[in-house]
Chain A
């Protein structure tokens, strides 16, 4: 406000280099974009000389992407991946929150489910995939089960700790104002746990993307993971890169989206932390 009046002349006296560095520091996207552009230019230059069996270059990937989209191969793979991905993610979020609430609120469930959840969490879920495929098949259903087996855990764990970490002083406010147990749960415990749950969902989104690709590696018939395996086996490197990039873009978009929702819902908590 009134403090921000700059002393005239100071900016002019500073050497140009310092000014440039300060400007770059304040505009991080300039370096980010330049770095990416330089990287792609370098890749294009070096990639053209490499053996196309093992390496490719951006313009070839772009051409492959156009071709795969025209032929309908990429869109149908995307749909084949997105249906189990979204179903698995939604099931993980809803199921994870419900299980987290159940074990957070009822000690009988907590103690009885504890050993099973710990065991499942400890086993690398990839180790279970052959078994899941045996039980649930190679198609959508099997993929959903694989995704849920991977993505549900952070939601369960975060919902549980969110509920357990609610400060006693917050619950006491409810008691002092004669809230019922249900009101304490819906109006104090759940809102207080939202930031934890959102952090769990953000982790689940990342894990669900890994889950769908891993699932399709094993089933290796359909979806983005399926065409990755297919073109890797055919040494069609340019085409191989297309689903990889699509997956990466998908991951960035979804995690940014979740992070945005998370920030909106957890704003009170972040700024509360800053105070102390």
Chain B
């Protein structure tokens, strides 16, 4: 079956696309300690995680647990203090062209049309105009925006803007797709629609995905594995194999009993952090 790897209890059997090896990162909070003493915030402490090729992994945690920092570090936008991140066997030192990002606030260039936004990465790569526009058209169609090529971001709804963001991230045919709470800014209905549509896109492309979210149901609907992070210092609390992953393409897993049970379990895991 197509999603067989999701059922493997030992995901390390699959070849690693992404390896996070004992990564730590802290920020100085200057001036926040009394008497000018240095306060250090340990955002990530000794995080180790292996993600297989074609796997869909969610990083789930309350705000401030370092999930976005971890994603940015994978993207090469920040260096870890300790540890190394490997993508396809190579250590990450700077942003890579085959690791693409979908941003929380869509991150579109407002003066560019849909088409011009989607071609942007290929334009940076120096791909010829005809070729990049042909590739872009393909992905614009894939995300369901055919006919909107000439529209500008401000003329689109939030959901459509994020479709543009997804198409732009896919045009380079990345090895790893990083998604930073991509649906958090959308209303509930649009969010579910995009989750379902994105699953269909992913099932066609099988890109390795690291998906940051604070929504338990979103992580359960989408991912093979859910990495539950805890905060201060940010580290992995538990890694959960989604019990509903094998059904997600055929039915609405939100209605399954396993879904509710698992969601409740994760909620319990996250609870002590909320009161802290």
Contacts and interface: CB of A to CB of B under 8 A. Distances in A.
Top 5 A-B residue pairs of the complex, sorted by shortest distance between their CB atoms? A178-B95, A176-B101, A268-B111, A271-B154, A268-B110
Interface residues of A, number: 23
A37 interface: no
B77 A172 contact: yes
Interface in B89-128: 94-97, 100-101, 103, 105, 107, 109-112, 120-121, 123-124
Interface in A66-101: none
Contacts of B123: 187
Given A176-B75, A177-B101, A192-B111, 10 more contacts: A169-B105, A176-B95, A183-B124, A187-B109, A187-B120, A187-B123, A267-B152, A271-B154, A271-B155, A275-B154
Contacts of B153: 268
Interface of A: 169-170, 172-180, 183, 187-188, 191-192, 194, 267-269, 271-272, 275
A177 B110 contact: no
Contacts of A175: 77, 95
A173 B153 CA distance: 15
27 contacts: A169-B103, A169-B107, A170-B107, A170-B109, A173-B103, A174-B124, A175-B95, A177-B95, A177-B97, A177-B101, A178-B94, A178-B95, A178-B96, A187-B120, A187-B123, A187-B124, A191-B112, A194-B111, A267-B152, A268-B111, A268-B152, A268-B153, A268-B154, A271-B152, A271-B154, A271-B155, A275-B154
Nearest to B94: A178
Question: A172, A177, A179, A268 — which one has the most chain B CB atoms within 10 A of its CB?
Answer: A177
Interface string B139-173: 00000000000001111000000000000000000
A269 B121 contact: no
Interface residues on B, range: 20 to 34
A191 B107 contact: no
Given A268-B152, A268-B154, A179 B109 contact: no
Contacts of A179: 124
A146 to B, nearest CB: 35
Given A188-B109, A268-B154, A177 B124 contact: yes
Interface of B: 75, 77, 94-97, 100-101, 103, 105, 107, 109-112, 120-121, 123-124, 152-155
A177 B120 contact: yes
A180 B95 CA distance: 11
Given A178-B124, A268-B152, A191 B111 contact: yes
B95 to A, nearest CB: 4
Counting chain A CB atoms within 10 Å of each CB, the highest count among B94, B95, B112 belongs to: B95
A137 to B, nearest CB: 44
A272 B154 contact: yes
Contacts of A170: 107, 109
A194 B97 CA distance: 28
Nearest to A179: B124
Given A170-B109, A191-B111, A194-B111, A176 B152 contact: no
